Structure 1
């Protein structure tokens, strides 16, 4: 069996991010970022690993979430990389006694570094391309 490539490892990192958020595994999530990493998106900036975990805990307002990782393009140059990762994020919550599903079409613009033998996010920018919020049936 051959060793994994940086592209495969970066893809796995994006999948571990989705898994961490959906499972509310904040310890695993923290381990995916450099200490001074920044996560930003529409109307928010979370500077540093502790702020990222604290900010991501806001997702606990939803009964359940599923982040589906799709297309990913990666450019590696030595111990640094840039990636664009497409994601559809589903959020289940109740409003006025009715369950709703909020869906987001996301493109993550990522800067990554190879540090301590693994790839880590140093910057993750969330671009929201579209959203829909509908009652959940079934």
Structure 2
């Protein structure tokens, strides 16, 4: 599960833009009876392009700010 937070657009022109989004991600893994959750704070830097009137991702880079693993009961 990914929970996007703050998003900011900058360098906006009529057909291009750059942006940044922060996100908290939770990934659950199950191995038999053992369950674990990995929680990560992520930052995406994005480039967008407007094509045929629609905004599309041109590039997305992912940066892990921090992460931790926790056992689940």
* TM-score, scaled to structure 2: 0.90
Matches within 5 A, 1:93-132: 93-95=29-31, 97-132=33-68
In structure 1, C-alpha distance between the alignment counterparts of 2:29 and 2:58, rounded to whole Å = 31
1:6-63 superposed Cα distances (whole Å, 9 cap, x missing partner): xxxxxxxxxxxxxxxxxxxxxxxxxxxxxxxxxxxxxxxxxxxxxxxxxxxxxxxxxx
Matches within 5 A, 1:20-59: none
Aligned to 2:17: 81
Q: Which runs of 4+ in 1 moved over 4 A?
A: none
Greater per-residue helix proportion: 1
- Unmatched tracts of structure 1, length 5 or more: 1-65
Aligned to 2:3: 68
- Unmatched tracts of structure 2, length 5 or more: none
1:82-115 superposed Cα distances (whole Å, 9 cap, x missing partner): 0000011110111463111111110000000111
The structure with more radius of gyration: 2
Cα RMSD over matched residues? 1.2
In the TM superposition, residue 126 of structure 1 has moved relative to its aligned partner by 0.1
